[in-house]
Structure formats: structure tokens, C-alpha cells
Amino acid sequence: MAEAHPVGFQWVMEAKRRGAKVFHVDPRFTRTSAVADAYLPIRAGTDIALLGGVVRYILDNELDFREYVLAYTNAATIVSERFSDTEDGDGFFSGFDPETGTYVQDSWQYEGNEDSSGSGHTAKERDSASGLEHESHGARVDGDTPRDETLQHPRCVYQILKRHFSRYTPEMVERVCGIPQDKFLELAQAWTANSGRDRTGMLIYSVGWTQHSVGVQYIRTGAIIQLLLGNMGRPGGGVMALRGHASIQGSTDIPTLFNLLPGYLPMPHHADHPTFDEWVDSIRHPGQKGFWGNAESFAASLLKAYWGDAATPENDYCYGYLPRLTGDHGTYQQVLNMIDGKIKGYFLLGQNPAVGSAHGRAQRLGMANLDWLVVRDLFMIESATFWQNGPEVATGEIVPEECRTEVFFLPAASHVEKEGTFTQTQRLLQWREKAVEPPGDARSELWFFYHLGRRLREKLAASSLPRDRALLDLTWDYPTHGPREEPSAESVLREINGYDVTTGRPLSSFAEARADGSTAIGCWIYTGVYADGVNQAARRKSRHEQDWVAAEWGWAWPANRRILYNRASADPDGNPWSERKRYVWWDAEKAEWTGYDVPDFEKTKPPSYRPPAGASGPEGIAGDDPFVMQGDGKGWLYAPSGVLDGPLPTHYEPVESPVRNPLYRQQANPTRKSYAHPVNSVNPSPPEEHSQVFPYVFTVSRLTEHHTAGGMSRTVRPLAELQPEMFVEVSPELAAEAGLAHLGWAHLISGRAVIEAKVLVTDRLTPLRVDGRVIHQVWVPYHFGFEGLVTGDSANDLFGITLDPNVLIQESKIGTCDVRSGRRPTGKALLDLVADYQRRAGITPGGHAPAVTTDQDVEGRDGS
């Protein structure tokens, strides 16, 4: 965190100053480790084993916050008797379909709900990254699920959890992660000792957890711990994602993502959502409890915002205009399709996939096979010059004279040259004022897309084709100002916020959303950001002039709420769990919820409220159910649906791993998304043969001095000079083994690429003893590319493409490689070297590792 989010880290230091103990778990000793109280080196890709060990520690020692767990989580809920665990399935839950490599989730459901699985067969959901919609939208859960408040029922979640994690012993943690047992125990003790009524603990993660083939389950494990310890919905608690880009949260909320529409409404699927009603019902699950019950209002209001007067209740608000998913249209599928010539054009908007995405060579080859490419950026980035300066030009794979791609480079406006909102990592929207005009041809994306849209509409104005109606009926009349006709960002924000269609009054809450076409809302979770016609995101009341929650600085979605599910900061009766951790509570006198934050609960619903039988929507949520978006109002220790690779997290080895999974015969996540494409490959891992060809583990991450693919830092002199060269960090032990010298050169070889880097031999890296073997890990920054003030080979070139099944995020935090001394070859010799490794490793183009490994050789392994 000190490396990648130093300013956020000030709060950790603040806590430390006040006596907090900071633990840092990382494959390498970083700036964070330097100031942490304890550093735990870990084998990359084994966090679930570590966290699972903590879960087991909590359960075995009954250190959970029992009152919280009983009342606010589904610990007591009874699960179907058809469910069987990985304990019994050697790494598989019940319901696995080897054909598709996905699960049928019926057997995971709560008892009595077996047939109302939110997802059923999940193959489709994996392709469209829509599994999680059911988690965030809440699975279909009946009002009354059988519970055992004593937590003794063998099929209650608590007992299932206990059984599931029973093999995650300290010994096993040491075996899998390479973390010594006493260090693990120190961590577990500190974490549990600092959680409860009077204390809370926070868990912070970043892409070190997401960029894995089991990434979602990493976070699930963290969430389970936090729920068990009563750290959710409370001040100083929570699971916090530290996101890496100024408005990456915003671009998820108002998604430039293929599978979502604004406000986490799903992009319709051609088979599942042929009609508006089917689409809406798939979100709200009629009869289900919780706030997604209002989904129709949000959906109708979005379409109303898009198509204005053309959208009427009669034509289902132009639902027919929406394009439909048929499967995986994610960025990696796109790239492979580009290579196959299926995609003609590509826009890059402040993004540099030639350096920043996994398998850089595939990215560049894909771009070299387009008809046209539009790059909008501040600087001439690698993704704009791949045809000229890319490594494939050096190897002869891309010949400029033979490369068809027509490239438009359009200069973009910087953050001070346009106004608008960023949504930062805690869901806080902050408006930026415009300081100066952009230079020359530089323009904001707002300008570009507004005028592009205008021009497209002009060109199609005479069209009578039905397919052009969606574009021609689109509301696209934003006021512009200035000689350059810059569209008004505030007017767009106003539309995002939503308004009453008849009066034009901005809405102040998504509770005002209507399904009758009387409201238009661009993104329902942002409703309120323009409440009262005031740009709430522009509020800048000094921190010195308000309390510590600082509710008048910017605006957080939803409803300017700073901590989600904060009803949980009070006990079931509505009183604070402790004076020290008071946050939101029930004021019996005024008969309303009150506190420092906006209560995440219906303001006047008393703690004693119990829903009438058959109630649905918000009405179905009891007065002591804080997790109001969930179908049962509970925090899910066990997820009966929504997570495609299991209701509980399970340690699987990374797709590329030098070791056999010590826990189960199943090696890697069986449901991971693989692409059998000739450009793609996976280095062999046990139990496959030849894994020793790539004996070392490499992991990548950021340096404080650089930003992602380097487009905003390798081009900036005061930053470039602070980390001027690509390097690889190796332990002294590996340096001895591979013959590497400090400040000498080394090259790293995977089945996809070879890159070179200067060597830093440092004590900050250590080998680990894993399952009796010594495992070496190396670390490389992924910031470098071939343009800018400082250049170097790109670490992401080493990766292949394998994705998490839930969210289609690639595993790019760990891979295997070989490390050799000296510089890499150039030209054709480079390709020969990679080919030689592929041959030795038995890698065939397009081949990938077997998904199921339980039938493979299990010698030298126990636990089966």
C-alpha cells in the first residue's frame, strides 16, 4: 500500500502511531513491509490458504463475534443436503459439469431453495461475467430459510465452514504458503484480538488479489473473516479495495464494460433476456426481498435517460434497442478476435494495452491486424506506435510496410483541462474544476464522443434502417459552450443523477425512481449527486470545518453514504456495539436511525420490525437485517449462488505453478476461463510434465514512482529519473543458483516471451520452503515499455491469458518462468529461444492445461 497508494497509507501510519499493529503479507519485502510491525513473505497465489488458515483459527478457537455472526450472517442457515464440499470431492464441490468446466449450483442452495438457484447452470454466466450479478443482486432466497441458532446442525453454514476449512491448519499454511507457523499464528492472533465489540480490523486489498484465476474467491475469503469477526458495516472495519486508477470505480459504476449497464444493471443476454420483463425479472427476482426489488424503476429510468421521449411504457422504453450478449465479449476475447481478423476497429481511451494488458505480444499482434485504430492519449504511447517501434518489429513479426492498421492518434485533454467527476476508491465522487484550456488539438473525451455522436447522427439522419433508430432516437442534446463547443459536463452529471421527466427537477434519491416513465436516471446509484440542482460532488467543505466522517466533502454513492451496510455498526436492538465504535444507531425517542453517517437502512424501520409473511422487496427486510441488498438480509459466509467457482473459497494453485496443490488433488481452479488460441499458451504445471522447464515464479506489481503502463510516468521527467530502468529483483539464493550479478543483466523466459532486465540482487526477496521444496520467486515492475523518457521490456509480455471465471480478469500476478543471466537475444534468435522453451516444455499452440486433475498422478502427495 505504501508502494502504490502512499497517500492512502498515511492513515495506516496514523493508526500505527496510535498503537495499531500492521502486518504485511507480500512475496517481496516492500516499502510497506519496511514500516510494518511484521512482514510475512508468501508464495504468490496462495492467499486463500493463508486466509483459510485464519478462518480455521477463528472457528477452532471460537473467536468469532458470535452475537454479530448469529444475527447478521447466514451462519445459522441450513444448506441443502444435496451439497457436498471440496473436502469430499478432492477439490470439487457438488454440481461440477466436466463438459463445460462449470458448476450447476442447485445443490449449493439453502435447504428448501434447491430449485430456485439464482443461476443454475453457470457456463453462460461465466462467459458473460454475470455470475456476480447474482451476488450483488442477491440470489433468490425465500423469506424463511431454515436456521439453527445453536449452530450445531451439521448442515448449517457455520458447521460447513468449519469442515471446509478444517485442513487449513497452521502446518498446511506453512506447507502451501511458505509462511512459518509462528508467524502465521502471530497474524491470526493479532487479527482476532483486535476485532469484536470494542475494536475493528480492516482488510485492504488491491489487484494483488484480483488478478488471479481465483481472484474473486480471495476477496470472498477476506470477507468471510471480516464477517466472522464482526468487522463489516462498522467504522474501522470492512474489506477495502484500493483501486488503481483515478476513476476506475466510476468506470465500473457507469461501466465502460461489456457486461454491464450503469448502476450494475446487466447488459441483456440474447437468450435469457429477450424481453424487458424477463430482463427486469432476472434482476429483481419477483418475490425476493431486498432493495433490488425496485430494479424495474432503475431499468426503466435508465432507458428513459437514453432514449427520452422515444422510450415509452408501451415500447418497453426502447428495450429492443439494446444490443445483446451472446457470450464472452471481454477484452481478451476481443484481442484474440482481432488476431483472427474478426474485429475491424479499436478505440483506446487513455489505456495502453501493449504494455498494460497480459500477453503484450498478443495485444500488439491483434492491433496490427485491425483496419483502424483510434488512440486517444496525452502521450505517444506504445499502443500507438507498435507498428513502428514494437518488439515484434524487431523480430520481424510485424513489418510496417505490411501492417494494414490505420492509426489515428488524437491528443487528449488532461485532468486540469476539463471538468467532471472522478469516483475514487471509496465510492466518493469529486468534481474537478477546469483550470486551463487543452493545448492544440487536445480535447476531452466528452468533446470527442459528443461531437462524434453528433456527426454519426448527422450521417445517418436520412436512414430508415431500424438498426439506426437507436442512434437517432438517442437523447444527445447536451449544451455546449466556448468556441470549441465543449459539452457541459454538469448537464451530463445531471442526467446521470436523474430528473423528473415532466418538471425536469433533479431527483434527490433513487427512491424517487419510477417504472412508469416519469423519471429518467442515467445511473441510479448516483442519484442524489445533483440533488436540489446542486453539484454535490463539487462540495469542498474543509476537513477542519466538519467532523471526521466529512460528509460534506464530495458525494459518495449511494446517498452520500460513507460506510455501506452501516446498520451493522449497531447491535440487533439498534444500540451501538460499543461506545468506542459508535457509528449509526436507532434513536428510540425520535423513532429513527441516526448517527454520524447516512444510515444504510430505511430511516424509520425499527429494529423490532419483522416482515409479514410473503413480503418482498425492501419490505421483506427485517429490522435487524443489515445487509439490505441481499435476499435474506444477511452477510454471506457461504454464497449459495453468485460465485461461479464455489460457495466457499478453496485453495487452488495458480494456473502456472511449480508445485502440486498440497490441499486437493484438483490442481487449479477447474472453472477458470481458458482460451485455446494459437497465440495463447500456459506453461506446464504439476501434475503435467515438464514444469521444471519454468522453475521460477515471477510476480509483478507497481513501483511508487511509476503509474501502470508508464504512459503518465515514464513520460514525466521527475518521475522517470527516480526509476529509470527496467529491473528484476532476485534473492541472493536465486542469484547464486542462476548466476546473476547485481546490476548485471538477466532475461526471463516464459512460454510466450522473453524479456530482459537489470538485476537487483536483494535480501528483500527470499526463497520459500513449500511442501518440502525450495521455491524461488522473482519480482518485476510492469511499468516499462518502448516509448517515453525511460524504456525497457514489458513484464506483462511474459503472461499468457487465463481468466477468473467470475469477472474475466486475467491471472497476471503470477506466472512461471526461467531466469538466465545476460541479455536476451534479439531478432529471430529471440523467437527461436521462446520456441525452444516451448518445445522443451511440450507447449503446443492453443493447448492448455487440463481443467480437471483429480485423475492425474498423485505421487508424493497426501491429503487425498
Partner 1 sequence: MVPDPNSLYGPLDPAPDAGYEDAPPRMGFFTDTSVCIGCKACEVACKEWNGVPGSGLDLLGMSYDNTGALTANSWRHVAFIEQPRPTGHGAAAFAGTPTGATVSAASAALAAGTAGPTGTDPGLPPGSPSAAARMVNGTPTDGEPASGGPGSRVDVLGDPVAAREPSAHPTVTRDSPTRTNGGAGPQFLGMPGGQPPGRGTGVEQRSDFRWLMMSDVCKHCTHAACLDVCPTGSLFRTEFGTVVVQEDICNGCGYCISACPYGVIDQRKDDGRAWKCTLCYDRLGAGMTPACAQACPTESIQYGPLEELRERAAARVQTLQERGVPEARLYGHDPNDGVGGDGAFFLLLDEPEVYGLPPDPVVTTRDLPAMWKRAGLAALAMTAATVAAFVVGGSS
Partner 2 sequence: MFVGSLAWEGVSGMGLRTFIEGWPVYRQLTGTDPLGRGAAAKSARSAGLTARTEAAESVARSVCPYCAVGCGQRVYVADGQVTQIEGDPDSPISRGRLCPKGAASKSLVTSPLRQTTVRYRRPYSTQWEDLDLDTALDMIADRMLAAREQTWEDADEQGRPLNRTLGFASLGGATLDNEENYLIKKLFTAMGALQIENQARI
Q: Residues interacting with partner 1, by CB under 8 A?
A: 2, 6-7, 9-10, 13, 16-17, 29, 31-39, 41, 178, 180, 182-183, 186, 703-705, 717-725, 727, 731-737, 739-744, 758-764, 766-769, 774, 776, 789-790
| 38 interface partner picked from partner 2, partner 1, none, CB below 5 to 8 A per type | partner 1
C-alpha cell at 304: 428513459
Site for partner 2 in 561-600 (CB under 8 A): none
Paired strand residues for 377: 411
CB of 39 to partner 1, least distance (A): 5
| 451 interface partner picked from partner 2, partner 1, none, CB below 5 to 8 A per type | partner 2
Which residues, 6 or more positions from 266, have their beta carbon under 8 angstroms from its beta carbon? 130, 133, 259, 260, 273, 279, 282, 283
205 binds partner 2 (CB under 8 A): no
Which CB sits closer to partner 2, 194 or 708? 708
Which CB sits closer to partner 1, 29 or 93? 29
Single out the residue of 100, 181, 252, 518 in contact with partner 2 (rule: CB under 8 A): 252
497 binds partner 2 (CB under 8 A): no
* Cβ burial, residue 543 (10 Å; 0-12/13-18/19+): exposed
| 521 interface partner picked from partner 1, partner 2, none, CB below 5 to 8 A per type | none
Q: What secondary structure, in 3-state letters, does 726-787 show?
A: CEEEECHHHHHHHCCCCCCEEEEECCCCEEEEEEEECCCCCCEEECCEEECEEEEECCCCCC
| 320 interface partner picked from partner 2, partner 1, none, CB below 5 to 8 A per type | partner 2
Contact 713, 721 (CB under 8 A): no
Paired strand residues for 110: 79
Which CB sits closer to partner 2, 320 or 847? 320
CB of 636 to partner 2, least distance (A): 23
In angstroms, what is the C-alpha Rg of the chain?
A: 27
Site for partner 2 in 613-672 (CB under 8 A): none
Q: Helical H runs in 248-359? A: 250-253, 276-284, 295-307, 331-339, 353-356
C-alpha cell at 576: 451501538
C-alpha cell at 235: 467504522
274 binds partner 2 (CB under 8 A): yes
Single out the residue of 470, 511, 833, 858 in contact with partner 2 (rule: CB under 8 A): 470
CB of 250 to partner 1, least distance (A): 23
Nearest CA-CA partner of 864 in 312, 253, 320, 89: 89
Alpha-carbon span 669 to 662, nearest angstrom: 14
Which CB sits closer to partner 2, 38 or 257? 257
Which CB sits closer to partner 2, 372 or 676? 372
| 189 interface partner picked from partner 2, partner 1, none, CB below 5 to 8 A per type | none
| 84 interface partner picked from partner 2, partner 1, none, CB below 5 to 8 A per type | none
x-marked contacts with partner 2 along 292-311 as a string, rule CB under 8 A: --------------x-----
Site for partner 2 in 332-361 (CB under 8 A): 334, 337-338, 342-351, 353, 356-358
Q: What share of the chain is helix, strand, coil (3-state, %, to 5)?
A: 30, 15, 55
Which CB sits closer to partner 2, 420 or 576? 420
> Count of alpha carbons within 13 Å of 424, Cβ hemisphere only?
14
x-marked contacts with partner 2 along 18-57 as a string, rule CB under 8 A: ----------------------------------------
| 162 interface partner picked from partner 2, partner 1, none, CB below 5 to 8 A per type | none
Amino acid letter for position 519 = T
Cα angle, residue 774 at apex, residues 772 and 778 outer, rounded to 5°: 150
Cα angle, residue 687 at apex, residues 772 and 819 outer, rounded to 5°: 65
Alpha-carbon span 577 to 568, nearest angstrom: 9
| 518 interface partner picked from partner 1, partner 2, none, CB below 5 to 8 A per type | none
Calculate the CA 738 to chain-centre distance.
36
CB of 24 to partner 1, least distance (A): 10
CB of 170 to partner 1, least distance (A): 12
Single out the residue of 329, 364, 561, 634 in contact with partner 2 (rule: CB under 8 A): 329
Nearest CA-CA partner of 250 in 485, 73, 422: 422
Query: From the CB of residue 37, how many other CB atoms can be counted at a distance below 10 Å?
Result: 12
C-alpha cell at 597: 453517517
**Options 118-126, 228-236, 432-440, 674-682: segment touching partner 2 (CB under 8 A):** 432-440
CB of 99 to partner 2, least distance (A): 21
Single out the residue of 40, 246, 568, 851 in contact with partner 2 (rule: CB under 8 A): 246
Using DSSP's 3-state secondary structure scheme, residue 799 falls into coil
| 828 interface partner picked from partner 2, partner 1, none, CB below 5 to 8 A per type | none
x-marked contacts with partner 2 along 392-421 as a string, rule CB under 8 A: --------xxxxxxxxxxxx--xxxxxxxx
| 17 interface partner picked from partner 1, partner 2, none, CB below 5 to 8 A per type | partner 1
Size of the site for partner 2 (CB under 8 A): 167
Contact 569, 235 (CB under 8 A): yes
